[in-house]
A and B are shown apart, each in its own frame.
Chain A
Amino acid sequence: MAKREVIYRHAVAVRATHWINALVLLVLLMSGLQIFNAHSALYLGSKSDFDDPILSMTAVREDGRAKGITTVFGYRFDTTGLFGLGGDAESGYQRQGFPWSWTLPGYHSLATGRHWHFFFAWVFLVNGLVYLAYSFGSGHLRRDLAPTGTELKHVGGAIAEHARLHFPKGEEAKRYNVLQKLSYLFVALILLPLMLLTGLTMSPGMDAAFPVLLDMFGGRQSARTIHFIAAGGIVIFVAVHIVMVLISGVWNNLRSMITGRYTIEPEKEKP
C-alpha cells in the first residue's frame, strides 16, 4: 500500500546557500542595472565604437517631442516611458536606461550602486564557493544533479511531460527530473561562474593580473555584453523556476527549501 511519505530532501548547506544566493542575485541585478544606466549601451570587442553599439537606450528629440529609443542590432524601438526616456508629462521626463524604480539605489547614483554591487559580489563569491565545496565534497552533485545516461536519452519525453505540466509522484518524485538536473547544473556550473568571470574582466586591475580573461571573452566590452546577457539568462531561469515552484506544490517546495522536509504523494494504484 502506497502512502504519503516525508523525505529529507535538502541538506542545510544547500538551503542556506540557496536563500543567500536568492537575496544576493536580487541585489546584484538591481545594482547592476544602476551601473548599466551610467552608460546604457553595449558593444563587442575591446573598445566602445560609439557609432555602432549592439544595444543602446537613448533619449532623442523627434517630431518636436522627446522620445526614448532602444536600438538592438540596428532595429529601432520606441520605448518612451520605459527605456531611454522615463517619466510622464505630469512629473516630467528624464533620461534613463532602465527605469530608476528597477535599480538599487532607486535614484541616480553610480557610486552607491557600485558599492552595493561589489560588496554583494564578494558575498556571491564566498557563498558560491561554499555551495560548490559542499556539492563536490558531499557527492550532492554526482548523486542528485548529474543526469544518468538513460535520463539523457529520454530528454525529449521529459520535455513533453513537463510541457503538459505533469509532475511525477511516488518514487520518481524523490529525485530531480532530468530537465531540473540540467538547468540547475547549467546555472550553478556555467551561468553563475560566467557572471563572475565576465564581471572580473571589466576590472582593469584583474585584466593586468590575468590578461587571459580578455582573450576568453573577446575583450572588455564583449565581456560587459556577455555579463548583461547572462544576467538576462539568470532572470529567465529565476522566472521559470518560480513558476515551476508555484505550480508543482508551492508549500511543499517552500517547506523543503526551508526545513529540508518534502512530502511525496503516493502514485495512484493502477487498476
Chain B
Amino acid sequence: MSKAKGLDRRSFMTRGLAVTSAALLGGCDDLSRQPWVKRVLESAETLTRLTQRALLTPNDLAREYSQADLSRVFKANGSTNPDDPSYLTHAANGFADWKLEVGGLVETPLALSLDELRAMPSRTQITRHDCVEGWSCIGKWKGVKLSTLLARAGLKPDARYIVLHCADSLGPTADDKYYESIDLADAFHEQTILAYEMNDQTLPIPHGAPLRLRVERQLGYKMAKYVMGIEAVDSFARIRRGQGGYWEDRGYAWYAGI
C-alpha cells in the first residue's frame, strides 16, 4: 500500500514537473515569437557589432593558414547548382560572355568580363570558412580585391553599403533570390575579395562560380556565391524584405562576426 502511494506521489510529481516545464518552455517559445522580445534580443546584435567594430582595425586580418592546412573536403553549403536559365547558359560556355555589373551609387558603372577581372591585381589567401551551423573548412582563394573594383568605379559620397546580387535562389519566389550586403569597413578590408579561383582551380560551380565573395571576418552566409552584380547603396531597407540579405530576411543577424 505504501508502495502504491509512493508510486502515486512520484507519478504526480513527475507529471507536475512535466506540466510545469512544458508551460515554461511553451512560454519561452511564445516569447521567442513576440515582436518586443525579438527587438530586445536583437539589440545584442548592435552591441556586438559596435564592440567588434571598435576592436577591429582595418589592419586586423583573419588568420591565414598554410597549404598543409587545406581541408580535404570543403563542404559546399546552400545552393550548389543554380537553376536560373541565364546562369545555366553562361555556365555552359564557361562564363566566356558573362560580365560582372558594378552599379548603384558609383561615378562610373562597370561591366567586367572574367578575363578583365583576372587581368587586375589579385590577392591569394588561405583562410578558414566558418559556417553559422558551427563547422569550419580551410580553403585557398584567389581573386580581385573588392576595394580595387570600388576604387575603379568610384563610390559616390552617400554610398554606405555594398549589395551583392546573386544568381541562385533558395525557393520559388522572387524573394528567394540570394543576396547579401556588407558595409564599407568590410568592403575595403584587405582580405575582402571576389574570388574566381579556389584551391588553385577555377572556382567550381558548387562553390559559387564564376565569382564568390570572401569576407573573412564574418560567417559563411555573408560570403555570397554566384555573384552577378554589385551595387553601392545608401540603405538596403528597400531591397526584398529589407534586412540586408537572404538569411537576414529570415531572422539571421546582419552582422555575422560572431
Given contacts A118-B48, A202-B130, contact A48 B135 (CB under 8 A): yes
C-alpha spacing A110/B253, complex, angstroms? 11
C-alpha spacing A44/B69, complex, angstroms? 13
A73 at the interface (CB under 8 A from B): no
Q: Which residues of chain B are near A116, meaning CB under 8 Å?
A: 32, 41
B65 at the interface (CB under 8 A from A): yes
A83 at the interface (CB under 8 A from B): no
| B interface residues, how many (CB within 8 angstroms) | 48
Given contacts A46-B65, A47-B138, contact A204 B130 (CB under 8 A): yes
Query: Considering the complex, which residues of chain B in the window 118-139 have a beta carbon less than 8 Å from any beta carbon of chain A?
Result: 128, 130-138
Given contacts A106-B28, A205-B257, contact A114 B252 (CB under 8 A): yes
B62 at the interface (CB under 8 A from A): yes
Q: Which residues of chain A are near B257, meaning CB under 8 Å?
A: 203-206
Query: CB distance A109 to B32 under 8 Å?
Result: yes
How distant is A225 from chain B, measured CB to nearest CB, in Å?
11
| A interface residues, how many (CB within 8 angstroms) | 43
A143 at the interface (CB under 8 A from B): no
Given contacts A47-B138, A109-B251, contact A118 B133 (CB under 8 A): no
Query: CB distance B134 to A119 under 8 Å?
Result: no
Query: CB distance A207 to B63 under 8 Å?
Result: yes
How distant is B91 from chain A, measured CB to nearest CB, in Å?
27
Query: Considering the complex, which residues of chain B in the window 41-65 have a beta carbon less than 8 Å from any beta carbon of chain A?
Result: 41-45, 47-48, 52, 55-56, 60-63, 65
Q: Which residues of B are in contact with A by a Cβ distance under 8 Å?
A: 25-26, 28-29, 32, 38, 40-45, 47-48, 52, 55-56, 60-63, 65, 69, 71-73, 75, 128, 130-138, 216-219, 247, 250-253, 257-258
A-B pairs with beta carbons under 8 Å apart, 21 shown: A46-B69, A47-B137, A50-B75, A107-B29, A114-B132, A114-B252, A114-B253, A115-B41, A115-B44, A118-B258, A119-B42, A119-B43, A119-B44, A203-B258, A204-B218, A204-B219, A205-B56, A205-B257, A206-B258, A208-B63, A224-B134
